[in-house]
Amino acid sequence: MEGSLGVRHFSSSGGPGAPPKTAQATEEMQKLTLDMKETLDVLTPLELRSFRDLLKKLDEEPRVTQVQLELEGDSTWKLARLLAKQYYASAPRVLTKVLQQLPRADLLPRWESGPAANGPVIPRKRARRSHEYEDGDLDLYDLSGLRKAFLMCVKKTRPGASRDVELMEQWLGQCLFEHTQCIDPGKKELIDRLTSFRDGLNEIKDEISCCLVTLMSHGENGFIKTTDDEKVSLELIFDMFNNKNCPALHEKPKIFIIQACRGDRRDSGVETDDEPMDSDDISEKRRLPTFSDYFIIYPTQSDHVALRHPRTGSVMIQAMTDVFEKYGNKWHIADFFTKVNNKVVHTNFHLREEPVKVSLVMESTLTKSVYF
């Protein structure tokens, strides 16, 4: 039988859904099931739900029914076995089609070249903390609506900033964000553009599921600087999107990526020998704190410098790109930036020939998990 997408050939003589008729074919199907389970194990709970929904809608015969999914697809092992049994030799093609629609392009090379024992290694499973939840138990933000982003960058006097813009646009596109770009603004222009962006969200309130604001510039603790060398308070910007000023984002994630210095201090690092409360409020009207559902990421500690290379761009933005290219969108955003921080912390940098270390800082008032 002819294989699909360069995947192994099977020795059975039956149709696409035919069971194996030889011991060799049985062994091949068991190996295929294990290979597919390894891929499915990488998916987040939200992605697994989407995978099942896409599978039953797929234009492949014989079609997988909702009843089959409920009885035979409630775990990654059962789902892989169902795919192998239902489609057999064409199962890799079916798996590839669904992964393309998720989208999980990072998992495709393994299946496009065949799940051989010496084939490409797929990304590791997410940390056990996330994996312990059964499908449906993990409380997630619903990101099925529009994802809007605001991308501001001061390029003047910041060599490498153009590369940061390219990488951020690429990352936002991969995470399905529509973005508004703001390059080299003065203070008034930046505030006006942010206000217009915020007002636009309020006008399409019910369609928005997530907001992401990226600010890349010079800065100091609590401020970023515009091209006219004016300081803009980060608190002012955060306030613009709080629950009072932006009702469109009530109980929706508001993510801020700040790429700017927070002071002049430099951390040269240290040498080590180690290897590398109940509420009584019974009011009928539900209330929210003014600030909730925020996630803010800084490129360095308070009062410290941030790092940017004149050719390859900012250290944090480059690390974000590298981690996303390797692992895709399988992690909750805090886990994703923890991995980014791990890469940054364990990389050696030099500033004017002096060693310097940086560590990202995350602040969160999220109430659910964010999976892009």
**Active site residue ranges:** 218, 261
Label residue 55 exposed, middle or buried (CB < 10 Å: 0-12, 13-18, 19+).
Answer: buried
Q: Which two tokens stand for residue 205?
A: 């309130």
Does residue 103 have a cis bond before it (omega within 30 degrees)? yes
Run of H or E including 105: none
The answer to whether residues 16 and 30 touch, using CB atoms and an 8 Å cutoff, is no
State how far the Cα of 175 lies from the Cα of 329, in Å rounded to an integer: 8
Query: Is the separation of the CB atoms in 217 and 158 below 8 Å?
Result: yes
Give the CA angle between residues 269, 270, 273 to the nearest 5°. 135
The separation between CA 122 and the C-alpha centre of its own chain, rounded to angstroms, equals 17
Annotate 252-286 with b (16+ C-beta within 10 A) or e (fewer).
bbbbbbbbbbbbeebeeeeeeeeeeeeeeeeeeee
Q: Which of 88, 70, 78, 96 is nearest to 32 (CA)?
A: 88
**Residue 289 and residue 148: Cα distance in Å, rounded?**
23
User: How many CA atoms lie within 13 Å of 366's alpha carbon, on the beta-carbon side?
Assistant: 22
H helices, E strands: number in the chain:
12, 13
Q: Is the dihedral of CA 218, 219, 224, 229 positive or negative?
A: negative
Q: Which of 180, 221, 204, 189 is nearest to 305 (CA)?
A: 221
